[in-house]
Amino acid sequence: MARVAVRLSCTAEVWAELERLSRSRSGEVRLVERARMILACLRGQRNEEIARELGVRPNTVGQWRRRFAKNGIAGLRDAPRPGKPPRYGAALRDRVLAQIEQSPPAGMASWDGGSLAHALGVSDDAVWRILRKEGIQLQRHRSWCVSTDPEFAAKAADIIGLYLNPPQNALVISVDEKPSIQALERARGYVQTSSGKVVQGLKSTYKRHGTVNLFAALEVATGLIRGKTTATKKRVDFQAFMDEVVADHPTDRQIHVILDNLNTHKKNEDWLAAHPNVTFHFTPTSASWLNQVEIWFGIFQRKALNNASFRSTEHLTEAIRAFTTAYNEKAAPFVWRKREVRGSQLRNTIVNLRN
Tens digits of per-residue pLDDT, 216-260?
A: 999 999 999 999 999 988 999 999 999 999 998 888 899 999 999
46 and 113 assigned to the same domain: no
Q: How many CB atoms lie within 10 A of CB 181?
A: 22
- For 50-59, 140-149, 288-297, 307-316, which range has the lowest pLDDT when averaged over its residues? 140-149
> Quick check: 331 and 222 in contact, CB under 8 A?
yes
> Using CB atoms within 10 A of its CB, is residue 38 exposed (0-12), middle (13-18) or buried (19+)?
buried
Mean pLDDT of the chain: 88
Phi/psi at 197 (5° precision): -80, 145
| 341 domain residue, yes or no | no
Contacts of 322 (CB under 8 A, 6+ apart): none
Residue 253 CA to its chain's centroid (Å): 42
266 and 223 assigned to the same domain: yes
Model confidence over 72-121: pLDDT tens digits?
989 898 888 877 777 787 889 999 999 999 999 999 999 999 999 999 99
Phi/psi at 146 (5° precision): -105, 125
Q: Rounded to whole angstroms, how far apart are CA atoms 111 and 100?
A: 7
250 and 311 assigned to the same domain: yes
Q: Rounded to whole angstroms, how far apart are CA atoms 181 and 149?
A: 30
| pLDDT band at residue 342 under the 50/70/90 scheme | low
What is the torsional sign of CA 13, 17, 23, 24? positive
| 145 domain residue, yes or no | no
Q: Rounded to whole angstroms, how far apart are CA atoms 29 and 117?
A: 39
Global pTM reads: 0.64
Nearest Cα neighbor of 21 from 29, 7, 70 is 29
| pLDDT band at residue 355 under the 50/70/90 scheme | very low
235 and 274 assigned to the same domain: yes
61 and 33 assigned to the same domain: yes
Q: Which residue type, as a one-letter code, is found at position 58?
A: P
| Residue 213 vs residues 230, 234, 293, 322: alpha-carbon distances, Å | 5, 10, 15, 16
Number of domains forming the structure of the chain: 3
Q: Which residue type, as a one-letter code, is found at position 321?
A: R
pLDDT on residue 339: 56
| 1 domain residue, yes or no | no
Average pLDDT over residues 324-350: 71
pLDDT on residue 259: 94
116 and 228 assigned to the same domain: no
| 21 domain residue, yes or no | yes
287 and 175 assigned to the same domain: yes
| Residue 200 vs residues 187, 303, 315, 323: alpha-carbon distances, Å | 11, 14, 21, 21
295 and 157 assigned to the same domain: yes
Average pLDDT over residues 292-321: 92
Model confidence over 20-38: pLDDT tens digits?
999 998 888 999 999 999 9
Contacts of 113 (CB under 8 A, 6+ apart): 124, 127, 128, 131, 138
Average pLDDT over residues 147-167: 89
130 and 172 assigned to the same domain: no
122 and 158 assigned to the same domain: no
Nearest Cα neighbor of 175 from 96, 103, 268, 111 is 268
CATH of residue 196's domain is 3.30.420.10
Note down the domain range covering 245.
Answer: 152-329
pLDDT over 90 at 323, yes or no: yes
pLDDT over 60 at 179, yes or no: yes
pLDDT over 60 at 2, yes or no: no
Q: Rounded to whole angstroms, how far apart are CA atoms 153 and 162?
A: 14
45 and 166 assigned to the same domain: no
| 252 domain residue, yes or no | yes
| 4 domain residue, yes or no | no
Give counts: helices (H), strands (E), the chain. 13, 7
pLDDT over 60 at 70, yes or no: yes
| 247 domain residue, yes or no | yes
118 and 246 assigned to the same domain: no
| 340 domain residue, yes or no | no
Question: For the residues of 157-188, what is the DSSP string, one character each?
Answer: HHHHHHHHSPPTT-EEEEEEEEEEEEEEE--E
Q: Examine the fold and report which residue of 28, 48, 76 is the final residue of a domain before the chain moves on.
A: 76
Q: Which residue type, as a one-letter code, is found at position 191?
A: V
